[in-house]
């Protein structure tokens, strides 16, 4: 698929993979698009016989729910002990994601705001 970039300066953030939408789900016109390889975590582990992770960090602006959907079998494994995800708690899809993790016996241990006061983003820490 494509990495859609709203900026091309070194160290810039807020690019999106697949759909050109920002972290709040609002479409944007990318300044640059780069073809990139993408793989679901579940199929990556299964196809290449990789050991499942014990700790996971997900920071994908605008689509953590898609990443989690592709990692549900991995997250169901008891060896995964912790998870950190950058979320926007005001978005329905992110709240649904939190509920799915609770069903997998993950508990929120704490949250840390990301960026300044104008953002709704937090790093949410989960543990089993």
| Alpha-carbon span 95 to 91, nearest angstrom | 6
The tens digit of pLDDT for each residue in 49-75 reads 999 999 999 887 667 777 888 999 999
pLDDT at 44: 95
| Alpha-carbon span 29 to 44, nearest angstrom | 30
DSSP for residue 34: E
Residues in the chain: 128
Whether the predicted pLDDT of 101 surpasses 80 = yes
Whether the Cβ atoms of residue 27 and residue 18 lie closer than 8 Å to each other: no
pLDDT at 87: 85
Question: Which residues does residue 100 pair with via DSSP β-bridges, in sequence order?
Answer: none
């Amino acid at each position: 698929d494509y990495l859609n970039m709203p900026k091309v300066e070194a160290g810039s953030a807020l690019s999106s993979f697949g759909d050109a939408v920002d972290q709040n789900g609002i479409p944007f016109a990318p300044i640059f698009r780069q073809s990139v390889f993408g793989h679901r975590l579940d199929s990556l582990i299964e196809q290449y016989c990789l050991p499942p992770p014990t700790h996971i960090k997900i920071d994908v602006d605008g689509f953590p729910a898609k990443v989690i959907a592709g990692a549900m079998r991995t997250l169901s494994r008891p060896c995964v002990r912790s998870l950190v995800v950058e979320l926007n708690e005001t978005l329905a899809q992110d709240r649904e994601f939190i509920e799915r993790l609770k069903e997998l016996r993950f508990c929120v241990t704490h949250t840390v705001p990301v960026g300044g006061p104008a953002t709704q983003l937090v790093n949410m820490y989960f543990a089993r």
